Amino acid sequence: MSSEKFLDEKWIKKIDRETQHLIDRIGVDRKTLDEVFDKSTLLSIGKLISDRLIDYLDFPISTGKEANIFRGMTPNKKLVAVKIYRISTSTFKNISKYIEGDPRFRYIDRSRREIIYEWAKKEFKNLEILKNINVRAPTPIKRINNVLVMEYIGDTEKPAPLLKDVQLKDPKKIFNTLITFISTMYKKAGFVHADLSEYNILIHNNKPYIIDLSQGVLLEHPLSHEFLKRDIHNITRYFKKFNIKKDEKKLFQQIIQKKDIEDVNQQK
């Protein structure tokens, strides 16, 4: 037996034990976890463990249409978020329009698995963009195939809640910060989130953090301005319930101006 095959089997057995422990701890049925942890995914997690980037998965944070997110623990007891894009049950309904036209990726003639790997790679790169321009988002740590490890946003008891689930202390400040984030992404990085809403913004310590970056596009994408308009609309629509009313067209024109954006206190 080759050493590589031995290591593969070793880590599959280790992850399988961890999977059973996960079932025992949180009561998730085996069928659900089997949809997430196929053999390739188990090997990717095994690689993360062998590289000492994670020690084990703790409990699910969220389940989306394309991915499951787990809280994980590193060997030095630091909390991380581990996002696993599902291979077998992921939907491709909307993926193509975000990858096609993005000069960073080739979408044509890819298998389902390869497309999912590209999707995870896209989110990792987009998280790096936000980190480089100081827009609050989880810091990316490592990606292997369809598994993405990133900063955990929350405390030891529970993850940070979504914007839609929070009673805001200062809605106007949060709104202004989010509009500034949209503008900063556009002007400093030529980047648009493309799906920004109350469902993919976390609130932690009264500050917003942007999440779910896989669909984000560069300005070279032919639909980037349409996506930008939609992001602005989603944020202004949500904050209307706080009696914050802004002209979407005016915000759009202000954002697409060529001059550099000034730094604001909300980002610090």
The DSSP annotation for 38-81 comes to -HHHHHHHHHHHHTTS-SEEEEEEEE-SSEEEEEEE-TTS-EEE
Sign of CA dihedral 261, 179, 128, 256: negative
DSSP state letter for 211:
-
DSSP state letter for 138:
P
- CA nearest 242: which of 145, 172, 165? 172
Which runs of E-coded beta strand occur in the chain? 56-63, 67-73, 79-85, 140-144, 147-151, 191-192, 201-204, 207-210, 217-218
Residue 69 phi, psi (nearest 5):
-115, 130
CB 260 within 8 A of CB 187: yes
CB 39 within 8 A of CB 146: no
The one catalytic residue among 58, 102, 195, 231: 195
165 catalytic, yes or no?
Answer: no
Angle at alpha carbon of residue 161, lines to 61 and 19, rounded to 5°: 5
- Please state, as a whole number, how many other Cβ atoms lie within 10 Å of the Cβ of residue 108: 6
The one catalytic residue among 212, 231, 260, 263: 212
Q: Enumerate helices (H) and strands (E) in the chain, giving the number of each.
A: 8, 9
55 catalytic, yes or no?
Answer: no
Question: Listing from the earlier edge strand, what are the strands of the sheet with 67-73?
Answer: 56-63, 67-73, 79-85, 147-151, 140-144
Residues labelled catalytic: 195, 212
